[in-house]
Structure 1
């Protein structure tokens, strides 16, 4: 059946993913600053808006995955891109209250559909191993984040309208690429008709790795929310905190191609790669317990980043091994929605835990919970056998 599936060229897959991640990086990092400083809303309100944005992204991922498998793959991604493009275009004119949060939520839903569909198309490419493709896509995702956040720093002083206008132009460009290159890249009608007979059944290893992914993102999000306040309380500066993300970006840009080069070896040791990466993520929080000197924060961020690039791209590869040909979109939708769910609830969970106890207990909880969930994932793998393709 695979031989009859029209192939999407890798360059269009990667370019679409770069545009999507760069465009979204123009918008979401501004939410808290824009709502608090320009719309004069409280930080709590900004947090609630971000929560709903992430939740609608989860919904978009799940629905997009379902539509990708049971409807038309090209129409699914075009629908997602249109939603993001239209909502971003409207933000150029309507970026007051309550239009801004409402359009942001629509954009999140469309973005969830789009990213899931791109991942679905990635599983169809047969010219390269799936693990290689997901490694490159993870690199591109972070490259888009670097491009977007750096550009915002230069463009925002010119006015918020320019931010939305540039993001809108980028999405229009992707819509054109999708219309000419993604359209028609569907499975044969016979395959689409038969897939509705297949019941969705997530095996224990898949459930375990998805649970671990949610928990990892819950605690990873502390770096983007609560740890900044912790660093300031230790006498460090905002510039010190910002530099940590430069370290994060540099390590990803340097080491992700190395992992891609070692793809064959890493694929043979996929389970070990996941275990090692998750453990590194847990260890990064051990290093924060009692941290006061800046070098400890740099070291922790370095270990966190290495764990991130080792484990997180491998989750999509691992889950794909369990997906039948007619369920690949839904499986990738689960990966995207679990990551979005962790990002959505992470800042709130961290804030509640800190207020009830302390930062120290937050770091201990992060270490213990990630280790325990990794152990659960390991136990679930013992009796498993990956389905033959």
Structure 2
């Protein structure tokens, strides 16, 4: 492992602006993570509401994110990534500052819903931007961005627990500040991808003639014909992938809406909940050699990586279903779940970028919308079930959802068997190994 880390110097082989983008994204994710794992506890402990109502708030936010992702995936062709991304982050910062300055329950609901909507708008554009702007590096950049963002999330979650023990208001102020800085950075330094590159693909679901209009050297985004009905008919590309992502996020929301109140009611300090996310980040950062070996040995294609990732998640939640009485068991469950997360989340934008080409923003918005439905259903379901029956039924439902995700990714992998074999990408070196 040490020899791999010594090769970090090879990161300079990547475009400098790509590394700056990822570094800024890391700072932004760190700031956001200070807030998001504590939403359930904020609603319950500060606002004085039940865990069921806390789940309802997360549902509202996720529902707005669903609409945001669908809107963002379509507006990409009209407005372009720079306006969408910078504008949404500027509005997001304003919403966070608004939450910090109010103690009104109705105002909090309005701000949190608006926050979900504008964050949803940005997500498909961010992923599509990376895939188009640095297409020759996109496989490693998606993975590198995922690692850095999630390490930032873990640092933020750890710091968030400490800040929340002083004041929950500070968490929103800090998150709003980092979001604002990220928006300013993008406004000043973000460059649009080559228009021709944006229409190239490795294995698109459309014919090449449909990507570039004949007789034109460049095609603007709003001139690109997007037949949404035709795209929706191609169910093998997105449908089971989307359902898999939805069930994955239903099960993963167990950590924030089930494990968080369970730890709190066990009399443990908030720092123990934050520590779980710190462990999550450390596993993501240090576990790359292990997941690379898993991919090489058992998951040589992107679609098979999705299936293996779901298998790890199912094992994780099955484990904590039977062993959750002691904190150390939750730590072990988090480690297993993190390995599943590591192999799934970077592969979804990679698969869509390479298989759908110029239509990637549409499919990313669609898939992200399904994922947010999972984020919406999970907290509401787990919050109410926890209020009524406690932790065991919550974990049981989470485990069932993880097996549903496993089934969806299994079907998806069988429908996409003709996908090209994944080139072996080394995160540390940026080289390709066969």
TM-score, length basis structure 2: 0.75
Counterparts of 1:316-331 in structure 2, within 5 Å, are 316-325=349-358, 327-331=359-363
* 1:169 counterpart = 2:177: yes
- Structure 1 residues 330 and 9: CA distance shift in structure 2, 3 A: farther
- Structure 1 residues 205 and 341: CA distance shift in structure 2, 3 A: same
TM-score, length basis structure 1: 0.83
Q: Which moved more, 1:289-298 or 1:260-269?
A: 260-269
Distance 1:322 1:195 in 2: 18
* 1:196 counterpart = 2:196: no
| Aligned partner (choices 117, 121, 125) of residue 117 of structure 1 | 125
Per-residue CA shift, 1:340-362, capped at 9, x if unaligned? 22122113334567768945753
| Aligned partner (choices 330, 340, 343) of residue 307 of structure 1 | 340
* 1:141 counterpart = 2:138: no
- Structure 1 residues 298 and 255: CA distance shift in structure 2, 3 A: same
The gaps in structure 2 that reach 5 residues or longer are 1-14, 197-217, 421-434
| Aligned partner (choices 369, 374, 396) of residue 337 of structure 1 | 369
| Aligned partner (choices 23, 27, 32) of residue 35 of structure 2 | 27
Tell me which residue corresponds to 1:61: 69
Q: Which moved more, 1:186-195 or 1:334-343?
A: 186-195
Provide the aligned C-alpha RMSD in A: 3.3
The gaps in structure 1 that reach 5 residues or longer are 1-6
- Structure 1 residues 28 and 288: CA distance shift in structure 2, 3 A: closer
Q: Is the 8 A contact 1:218 1:342 kept in 2?
A: yes
Tell me which residue corresponds to 1:14: 22
Tell me which residue corresponds to 1:50: 58
- Structure 1 residues 297 and 170: CA distance shift in structure 2, 3 A: closer
Q: Is the 8 A contact 1:73 1:186 kept in 2?
A: no
Runs of 4+ aligned residues of structure 1 deviating over 6 Å after TM superposition are: 230-233, 260-267
Partner-residue secondary structure (3-state), 2:53: helix
Distance 2:29 2:309 in 1: 23
**CA positional deviation for 1:78:** 2.1
Partner-residue secondary structure (3-state), 1:41: coil
**CA positional deviation for 1:266:** 9.7
Distance 1:89 1:363 in 2: 33
Per-residue CA shift, 1:122-176, capped at 9, x if unaligned? 1113364322111112112212212322222333344344333322322221222
**CA positional deviation for 1:212:** 0.8
**CA positional deviation for 1:53:** 0.8
Partner-residue secondary structure (3-state), 1:288: helix
**CA positional deviation for 1:63:** 0.9
Q: Which moved more, 1:214-223 or 1:265-274?
A: 265-274
**CA positional deviation for 1:262:** 9.9
Partner-residue secondary structure (3-state), 1:225: helix
Distance 2:224 2:155 in 1: 39
